[in-house]
Amino acid sequence: MCGVLDQIERKVGSGSFSPLTSIPHEMRGPPGQSHTDSDLAPSTSVIFDIVPVGSTRAGLK
């Protein structure tokens, strides 16, 4: 492992993205790593994103 991390972020409804946890870059994609998000009400609209740690969202396309 090279020590590079990716951050899992969550956006609830029309809010902004906030960090949930960091995972090793090597774990992205299948088989990947799982994350349980248990503090949401049923039928809540959620978007998840994976962002390289140290990057800015504006720099990603």
The per-residue pLDDT for range 3-51, each reduced to its tens digit, is 667 888 889 888 899 888 887 776 555 555 666 777 888 888 888 888 8
In a domain, 54, yes or no: no
In a domain, 58, yes or no: no
In a domain, 53, yes or no: no
In a domain, 37, yes or no: no
Q: What is the domain extent for residue 17?
A: 1-31+43-48
The encoded tokens of residue 35 equal 């994350």
Query: Which pLDDT score, from 0 to 100, does residue 29 have?
Result: 53
The encoded tokens of residue 21 equal 């946890």
Residues with Cβ within 8 Å of residue 53, at least 6 apart in sequence: 4, 5, 6, 7, 22
Query: Which pLDDT score, from 0 to 100, does residue 3 have?
Result: 62
In a domain, 59, yes or no: no
What is the reported pTM?
0.62
In a domain, 10, yes or no: yes
Give the three-state DSSP class for 57: helix
